[in-house]
Structure 1
Amino acid sequence: MIKIKNLTKTYQNKKTKTTVLNNINLEIEDGDIFGIIGMSGAGKSTLIRCMNLLEKPTSGSVHIDGINITNLDRKSLSKVRKNIGMIFQGFNLLMQKTVEKNIAFGLEIIRIKDFVPENMKINEYKSLSYLEKRKVKKVETKRKVSELLKIIDLEDKAKAYPSMLSGGQRQRVAIARALATNPSVLLCDEATSALDSMTTKSILTLLKKINEETKVTIVIITHEMNVVKEICNKVAVIDQSEIIEQGSAPDVFKNHQSEITRQLIGGEL
């Protein structure tokens, strides 16, 4: 579960102070596909970056699985982040690496002693020599990449480079890379806004399938109501740095109270 309590984020220079998020309170249950929707400049991207502390809140707290991550030191935060995958609007792939190398990247940067093979007991792994651990890690990484290529339906693109892929294919690779470390939470920052409608639908179908099969909690930041309608079971509407409505997606669509929500539902962006 993700709990956000009284979260505020401000930026200040010598002359001005700007509040980007004001007293945000949210609860996201395990297994939710939770949409956070708002117009440009509402604060939604800052909010999702506060969830994994890419942006540190000015005040308030973020709790993941009962841990207040805003109080963690760098080493402890790094461990928590292994359970949080993130997908960006611009894909953020390594252009000089192949598709399979991009997917493997998150696993490759994990230190040998911190690596946890899925098909081996942790005590058994710890008892291995350094060279044996390297071999196990290499085999396990290859297996995981192969599994993810199948999930995103890009097995034939394993040796291709990002420049050889379409936008939708690049985003599929970004999703696979985010899933490589078996995160319990997947954060999506405008993950479909650079894609056409048909490609967007295929990406949303993929995310829904992943949620159903792995039970990963997905948080989607978007300004597109059709994205929320397609896959989200819960939604929060953010406007001028504050949450103005939240609840189950059907309830918010049917019983919305604010003019901003009405405009978003009506597509008046």
Structure 2
Amino acid sequence: MIEVKQLTKEFRIAGDKNLTVLKDINLVIEQGDIFGIIGMSGAGKSTFIRCLNLLERPTGGSILIDGVDITMKKGRDLLALRKSIGMIFQNFNLLMQKNVSRNIAFGLEITKVADFVIPGIDKEDYKELGFFQKRKLKKKEIQRRVDELLRLVDLEDKKYEYPSKLSGGQRQRVAIARALATSPSILLCDEATSALDSRTTDSILKLLKKINEETGVTIVMITHEMNVVQKICNKVAVLDKSEIVASGYTEDVFGDTSSEIVAQLLGGGEV
């Protein structure tokens, strides 16, 4: 579970002035939710999601994941935390010089041999192994995990292709597989379907829904697309002028048009 308490984020601008991007944000995201964050341009959506994995350090408040305040994490503890939080982006952010398999494996490959986790082997038993034994097991486990993820995202036939040969939807599937490589409990999606056409968007949403149902991963989605929230998110929060003005189950939030900002969003206002 993610608990956001009185979260504030300010940026220093000209002189000694500060720009408040997030103000007193309070939010609870339950384990297994597909939670949408939506609002007008400049409302603070992207800053909020970047605070959840500390790509942006909050100015104030706390973010608790399973009861642990992650804003206190630094160094190795922060690196370990980020293994449990995957992230996918609008522009895919793939490594163009690596094929699909190597892109998915990248996060696992850069994990130190000593820190690598092999399913089915006790941590203490693993520590007793020699370096070359650990390296051999690591390579074997990485390949097993890559093949497993290729099946999940339906790209088994693209294993050795390079990103330049893939469609936008295929690139995003690779990005999703890469984000899932370390078996995170949370998946952050920053405008993950904005660069895709409507048909490809639908296929990516179905994939995310499938991943959520099969793995139980909590998904937090930043989007300006109303149809994305309505199709996939069970809960939603509406950001307006740096503050949350509505949150709850998607049908309840969008069913209450007494809120001016919600009415604008439903009416097709630019978001």
- Same fold by TM-score, threshold 0.5 exceeded? yes
Alignment partner, residue 11 of structure 1? 11
**Deviations 1:177-228 (CA, angstroms, capped at 9, x unpaired):** 0000000000000000111000000000000000000000000001111101
- In 2, Cα distance between equivalents of 1:132 and 1:267: 58
| Structure 1 spans left out of the alignment, 5+ residues | none
1:105, 1:177 within 8 Å by CA — same for their partners in 2? Answer: yes
Over the residues paired in the alignment, what is the CA RMSD in angstroms?
Answer: 1.0
Alignment partner, residue 203 of structure 1? 204
**Aligned counterparts, 1:179-198, within 5 A:** 179-198=180-199
1:224, 1:264 within 8 Å by CA — same for their partners in 2? Answer: no
- In 1, Cα distance between equivalents of 2:101 and 2:71: 33
- Tell me the secondary structure at the aligned position of residue 239 of structure 2: strand
TM-score when normalising by structure 1: 0.98
Alignment partner, residue 72 of structure 2? 71
**Deviations 1:6-34 (CA, angstroms, capped at 9, x unpaired):** 01111113153211111111100000000
- In 1, Cα distance between equivalents of 2:262 and 2:256: 10
Verify: 1:102 aligned to 2:106, yes or no.
no
The aligned length equals 269
Alignment partner, residue 215 of structure 2? 214
**Deviations 1:136-175 (CA, angstroms, capped at 9, x unpaired):** 0000000000010111111111111111111111000000
AA at the equivalent of 2:144: R
TM-score when normalising by structure 2: 0.97
Alignment partner, residue 2 of structure 2? 2
Alignment partner, residue 38 of structure 1? 39
Alignment partner, residue 143 of structure 1? 144
- Tell me the secondary structure at the aligned position of residue 237 of structure 1: strand
- 1:258 shift after superposition: 1.5
- In 2, Cα distance between equivalents of 1:19 and 1:174: 31
1:245, 1:256 within 8 Å by CA — same for their partners in 2? Answer: no
- In 2, Cα distance between equivalents of 1:153 and 1:124: 35
- In 2, Cα distance between equivalents of 1:112 and 1:257: 56
Instruction: Report which stretch shifted further, 52-61 or 120-129.
Output: 120-129
Pick closer, same or farther for the CA change 1:120–1:257 going to 2, 3 Å: farther
- In 2, Cα distance between equivalents of 1:234 and 1:118: 33
AA at the equivalent of 1:148: L
- In 1, Cα distance between equivalents of 2:171 and 2:229: 22
Alignment partner, residue 52 of structure 2? 51
AA at the equivalent of 2:188: L
**Aligned counterparts, 1:74-89, within 5 A:** 74-89=75-90
- In 2, Cα distance between equivalents of 1:29 and 1:205: 21
Identity, in percent, stands at: 65
